[in-house]
Amino acid sequence: MKTERKLEKQARTVRSGYLYILSLALSASRDTAKMDLNMDSNAPHSMGTTIIGVTYNGGVVLGADSRTSTGMYVANRASDKITQLTDNVYVCRSGSAADSQVVSDYVRYFLHQHTIQLGQPATVKVAANLIRLLSYNNKNMLETGLIVGGWDKYEGGKIFGIPLGGTLIEQPFAIGGSGSSYLYGFFDQAWKEGMTKDEAEQLVVKAVSLAIARDGASGGVVRTVVINSEGVTRNFYPGDKLQLWHEELEPQNSLLDILNSPTPEPMNI
Amino acid sequence: MSSIGTGYDLSVTTFSPDGRVFQIEYAAKAVDNSGTVIGIKCKDGIVMGVEKLIASKMMLSGSNRRIHSVHRHSGMAVAGLAADGRQIVARAKSEATNYQSVYGEPIPVKELAERVASYVHLCTLYWWLRPFGCGIILGGYDRDGPQLYMVEPSGISSRYFGAAIGKGKQAAKTEIEKLKLSEMTCREGVIEVAKIIYKVHDEAKDKAFELEMSWVCDESKQQHQKVPDDLLEEAKAAARTALEEMDAD
């Protein structure tokens, strides 16, 4: 009995091994790129992403990383995920690059017409509502999470989060994208009401930098946009200038640096 | 200012040689034959009042409303053909709720007035439609404060401090101009509107009338509603006293 079962088990292993190799051969014929170079160039461009929007005393700060990936390949390492909707309202895009661009383009168009009709700048709430209607009504086809932030003369600085299904939620701060998973605890501890502009911006840069350190789908540079009654300011923080976190290594620019150093030991931690 | 437009007044799509569209002017006459409607903009809101001429003693008081709420924050008083007015009110309500669902905020009064005016104007462009035979006084309170608009059958809409349409509009306008509206609260405005309507009502030509008033102001929490009954009675009493004093002179 025991030997029988053992033999059966061996047979199963051999059979499953055989099936495994068969499946490899089959998939190889379908997408060779995937097996050979670990890259599927036919995969849709997705922005793994970390996006953040934070209100402060007088306006809002929006922040994002800059990595756009196609599978494991980084298609764009310096993308700008914070796009303009109107003079006073911007949106952080995450998820499918194409979906988020199309939604932003539609809403920019609607808001432009709305501004002309109204005779004054659109409010952040209206911009967020238009985004929400598109996201919700096309939820079967779209895959994009957005954070709308801006300033208007009635409500001041406002942040609205519009995650995947098309909910609209007004928040004092919002985080999104794959990298945001690593920031929930951080914000619970570090967020406070009524920060100054510089405090808020430093918070955003620190948060994006932490997410980049842990999330493979986020990386590159940190971009921020500050919006208040005076206008809009764009800032740029190169990746190699960001603070190093736990277990992060110093960037090595060239092997020659290692060889020319007094103690040429690669992997010198 | 009436003239016979023989031959040029049969269709709303015909101009006369001196550049007038007579059908629209005739529509305005329908408005002039109806009971007076007034609206004033006080410092904290809008007050509107209607002189409802009672056609029959058998009619229930309070029926045949002439002032309608279009949205929480705005209302419309209609003069002229009542059935035409119902159409316009229905359209305005639909525009307001549609704006709210698309843009997520209550329709600004300016935008609402423009849409109503567009709709009224639309019906002056085609030969198979006739112009609306009503004048509208639209009052609302949005983020930019209280605003008062008037829409004529031609589709013109303008913003006012005080407006009057209907039979007694000339006399009413003179009375409104005497008021210091920028210093008046809506409570005081209600009394003044009642006085004006009682004053311009022509006892000889028209028999009985019923006063209908509404307001949208800080006191009503920026919601458009009927003037509360006690204030309405107070206003009517004050108006009657003012009238007697005048007669006594």
Domain layout of chain A by residue ranges: 51-241
**Interval A152-165: pLDDT, tens:** 999 999 999 999 99
Average pLDDT of every residue of chain B:
93
Asked if B102 and A129 come within 8 Å (Cβ–Cβ), the reply is: yes
Residue A20 near residue A73, CB atoms below 8 Å = no
Asked if A119 and B105 come within 8 Å (Cβ–Cβ), the reply is: no
Of A119, A126, A168, the CB nearest to B103: A126
CA distance B99 to chain A (A): 10
Least confident of A83-92, A183-192, B2-11: B2-11
**Interval A204-241: pLDDT, tens:** 999 999 999 999 999 999 999 999 999 999 999 998 88
Assigned architecture for domain A51-241: 4-Layer Sandwich (3.60)
Here the tokens at position A95 are: 């998820």
Identify the residue with better confidence: B93 or A27: B93
Tally the residues of chain B. 249
Burial of B234 per CB tally in 10 Å (0-12, 13-18, 19+):
middle
Local confidence band at A9 (pLDDT 50, 70, 90 cut-offs): low
Local confidence band at A43 (pLDDT 50, 70, 90 cut-offs): low
CB contact A124 to B (< 8 Å): no
Question: Is-catalytic flag, A55?
Answer: no
Mean pLDDT for the stretch of residues A101-126: 97
CB contact A129 to B (< 8 Å): yes
Identify the residue with better confidence: A26 or A149: A149
Secondary structure (H, E, C), B115-162: HHHHHHHHCCCCCCCCCCCEEEEEEEEECCEEEEEEECCCCCEEEECE
Measured CA to CA in angstroms, residue B240 lies from A177, B55, B164 at distances of 70, 22, 21
CB contact B17 to A (< 8 Å): no
**Interval B113-123: pLDDT, tens:** 999 999 999 99
* Angle, alpha carbons A218-A53-A193 (nearest 5°): 130
Class of domain B22-56+64-248: alpha beta
pLDDT at A240: 82
What is the complex's ipTM, to 2 decimals? 0.85
* B104 contacts in chain A (CB < 8 Å): 125-126, 128-129, 132, 168
pLDDT at A48: 80
Here the tokens at position B161 are: 């401090």
The sign one gets for the Cα dihedral B2, B34, B109, A137 is: negative
Question: Given its phi and psi angles, is residue B247 left (phi above 0), alpha (psi -120 to 50 degrees) or beta?
Answer: alpha
Local confidence band at A32 (pLDDT 50, 70, 90 cut-offs): very low
Intra-chain end-to-end CA distance of chain B, in Å: 34
Mean pLDDT for the stretch of residues B68-81: 95
Residue of A186, A166, A247, A168 lying closest to A213 (CA atoms): A247
Residue percentage of chain A with pLDDT more than 90? 70
pLDDT at A249: 83
pTM of the model as a whole: 0.82
pLDDT above 50 for B126: yes
Q: Please report the residues numbered 109 through 128 in chain B whose beta carbons come closer than 8 angstroms to any beta carbon of chain A.
A: 110-111, 114
Asked if B103 and A154 come within 8 Å (Cβ–Cβ), the reply is: no
Burial of B168 per CB tally in 10 Å (0-12, 13-18, 19+):
buried
Q: Which of B13, B14, B36, B185 is catalytic?
A: B36
Local confidence band at A28 (pLDDT 50, 70, 90 cut-offs): very low
CB contact B98 to A (< 8 Å): no
Q: Considering only alpha carbons, which residue of chain A is nearest residue B111?
A: A118
pLDDT at A232: 97
CA distance A58 to chain B (A): 20
Q: Please report the residues numbered 130 through 149 in chain B whose beta carbons come closer than 8 angstroms to any beta carbon of chain A.
A: 143
Mean pLDDT for the stretch of residues A6-13: 54
CA distance A85 to chain B (A): 15
pLDDT at A139: 96
Q: Considering only alpha carbons, which residue of chain B is nearest residue A133?
A: B102
Q: How many CA atoms lie within 13 A of B161 on its CB side?
A: 13
**Interval A67-106: pLDDT, tens:** 998 888 999 999 999 999 999 999 999 999 999 999 999 9
